[in-house]
Amino acid sequence: MDRLTLINLPFKYHLIAGVVIRLILIVYGDIHDRTYNVPYTDIDYTVFTDAARYIIAGESPYNRPTFRYSPIIAYLMIPNIFLGRNFGKILFSIFDILVAVAVKVLVEHQLKTTADNRASKVAIYCALFWLYNPLSICISTRGNADSVPCFFIILSILYLQTNLVKGLCKYALAGFLLGISIHLRLYPLAFSFPMYLSLGEYKINRRTNIIGGILSLFPNKEQIILASSCISTLFLLTVSMYSLYGYEFLFETYIYHLFRKDTRHNFSVLFYYSYLTMEHLSFDIVKTISLAFEIIILFILSLTFGCDRKTLCFALFSQAVVLVAFNSVMTSQYFIWFLSLLPLVVHNFQLIPAAKALILIIMWVSAQCSWLFYAYLLEFNCREVFILIWLMSVVFFYTNIIILSELISSYTPGYGFGMINSISNNKKSKVEILPPLDVE
């Protein structure tokens, strides 16, 4: 059986293989943790489990130092205490698998063809891009919870851009799911603006004045429903958690991350600066300037790609890359923010020659491995290599920016790995990309 035959197996067999791979790694994780000094299990997984124990005891999950997540994560981990220590890893892996399923369904709706099944093949290939992604597999099987908000984000896009739920209810459902994801992780807040823009019709050009541009953003019925549903969901969840755990919840889950300084496990270009200013509590002008540039770039990406429904997913993917690259704290789990959105747009990159894609992957992995090598020397061999780690952080930052620039320049909506465009060029079938949503 050749490689192409394996890829073209029914999708359900790939799902089974994905589940088996993840279960094997969960079992291996226990063996690895007992054998090696560097544990396989994420430290946050232990934090989640301890927080769940406090909840069972009728106490606050924030009694566990370094628990800085929504209490919902701790509640999800309660079965870990009664059913076994690997329950959480299995749960996060299930969400990981569900992401692949949601990707397949969404891409199928992005590329609809008649008299041809190539769009379905493209959708399966995109789903496999996530299902067999080594990093996504490791993140979930190590006990990281980021697959949960990632699933809600993709599900929100799915209901927003398809008619799986008809009428105005789909906009309310999309906003509801987006609100949940923002409650679990703050970063999807940036996605709300391009998702809002994607539901409007704009006639903005270089001659449009500022007032005319602002008036064009005045919400329509669909935008009002999306925004209202998202805001009300986020508000209700926040109020509910605040009623249970008070200001401690607000500080640990949200406020803390605005001033957070990590000097370990931090890929950020601001790593060494944070280390040198760890004890400084005054106004941080460097991070403020960095945040200002980040907001400007996010705004430009929203206007460039978010105003068109066909390019919304690329807007979100590009924003996620910027959010990670410019963040003052960056760990391996943050890469899931954009890697979970990459399968939605990977079929639209017309990288010619194809070897160019391989070069970009090698660049990204090499820069990350170089950073990890010096981080290992620092943490486990007690070597004074802070400068070298910072230099690798700078290299990694520029690598992310270069790769994003290359992807933007090669982005071709509807390309479909060359399969969809080839159909259109040969006039074998009619291609409809992101069909217009019904307007009630």
pLDDT computed for residue 332 by the predictor: 82
pLDDT computed for residue 262 by the predictor: 67
- At 46-76, the pLDDT tens digits run 999 999 999 999 999 999 988 999 999 999 9
pLDDT computed for residue 281 by the predictor: 54
- Sorting pLDDT into bands at 50, 70 and 90, what band is 437? very low
Q: Is residue 93 over pLDDT 90?
A: yes
Q: Is residue 439 over pLDDT 90?
A: no
Cβ(55)–Cβ(64) below 8 Å: no
What residues contact residue 378 under an 8 Å CB cut-off, 6+ apart?
A: 384, 385, 386, 389
pLDDT computed for residue 284 by the predictor: 74
Higher pLDDT, 377 or 55: 55
Q: Is residue 25 over pLDDT 60?
A: yes
Residue 259 tokens, joined: 């001033």
- At 303-361, the pLDDT tens digits run 899 988 999 999 999 999 999 999 888 888 889 999 999 999 999 998 877 788 889 99
At 112, phi and psi to the nearest 5? -105, 130
What residues contact residue 372 under an 8 Å CB cut-off, 6+ apart?
A: none
- Sorting pLDDT into bands at 50, 70 and 90, what band is 425? very low
- Sorting pLDDT into bands at 50, 70 and 90, what band is 81? very high
CA distance 429 to 119: 11
- Sorting pLDDT into bands at 50, 70 and 90, what band is 116? low
Percent of the chain with pLDDT over 70: 89
Q: Which residues of 41-69 are buried (b: 16+ CB within 10 A; e: fewer)?
A: bbebbebbbbbbbbbeeeebbbebeebbb
CA distance 241 to 247: 10
Q: Is residue 178 over pLDDT 80?
A: yes
Longest CA span, the chain: 66
Q: Is residue 253 over pLDDT 80?
A: yes
CA atoms within 13 A on the CB side of 93: 25
Supply the mean pLDDT for the chain. 86
Q: Is residue 295 over pLDDT 90?
A: yes
Q: Is residue 435 over pLDDT 90?
A: no
